[in-house]
Amino acid sequence: MELIMIRHGQSEADLLRVHEGRADFPLTGLGEMQAWKMAVYVTTNFKPDIIIASPLKRAHRTAEILKESADCECVIEEDLMEFNNGVLAGLSREEALTKHPIPEGGRSIHVPIEGGESELEFRMRAEKVLHKILNDYKTYDRVAIVSHGGMISNLLKSLLQLPVVTQAAFPTGDTGIHRVDVTEEKRVIRFLNRQEHLI
């Protein structure tokens, strides 16, 4: 199976400089254009057989655009949502630091944000949804996953069987694309965070 992991286009939260996470902002006009460029690029170079997407507006709309271009089924998967940042969702960075300061020494990975989830729970959710995709969609040759930067980073950590506590990170720009071949024997990364469609 080949996995094509795609981050959504620019969202309104990017312009407002607020904590996004579960705050459900739509794509901007630029984000729509980025999604269309990505969709044409993906359809031309590695057309998916099926798309699995987060239900949050920014990812869902990006997936709808890819679906229209690739002419394939799109399935919504709740577990592909971004990190549940609880009380921080939608707050400006300044307001968040005032109302909910980071504990001295940081927050332990098992401690959830108020009203949200912990980093450990987030990683375990990524493990769960990855195994679900690899099992439930194993009859498909190429599966596109349209999600969020944090989730995609955790999916890649899970694919590479990295420990929960790791310094490794896999940042993804607007409509950035990661391509990974997955077999029972190995996982081969073809490329990470490709954005040449935006040039």
- Is 82 annotated in the active site? yes
Question: Within 13 Å and on the Cβ side, how many CA atoms surround 94?
Answer: 2
d(CA 11, CA 71): 24
Q: Name the pTM for this structure.
A: 0.96
Active-site entry in 19, 20, 60, 82: 82
Residue pLDDT, tens place only, 56-113: 999 999 999 999 999 999 999 999 999 999 999 999 989 998 998 888 888 899 999 9
Question: What is the residue range of 126's domain?
Answer: 2-198
d(CA 143, CA 158): 17
Question: Looking at residue 102, what is its pLDDT?
Answer: 84
CATH classification of the domain holding 125: 3.40.50.1240
User: Is 101 or 158 the better-scoring residue by pLDDT?
Assistant: 158
Q: Is 65 exposed, middle or buried (0-12, 13-18, 19+ CB in 10 A)?
A: buried
Q: β-pairing, 187-194 with 177-182?
A: antiparallel
Question: Looking at residue 111, what is its pLDDT?
Answer: 94
The predicted model gives 154-160 an average pLDDT of 97
Angle at 132 between CA 126 and CA 138, to 5 degrees: 130
Q: Which helix (H) or strand (E) holds 191?
A: strand 187-194
Q: Is 142 annotated as a binding residue?
A: no
The predicted model gives 124-139 an average pLDDT of 98
Question: Looking at residue 88, what is its pLDDT?
Answer: 94
Q: Are 161 and 126 in contact (CB under 8 A)?
A: no
Q: Is the per-residue pLDDT at 155 higher than 90?
A: yes
Residue pLDDT, tens place only, 9-58: 999 999 999 999 999 999 999 999 999 999 999 999 999 999 999 999 99
The string of DSSP letters for 167-185 reads S------TT-EEEEEE-SS
Count of structural domains within the chain: 1
d(CA 149, CA 21): 10
- Is 8 annotated in the active site? yes
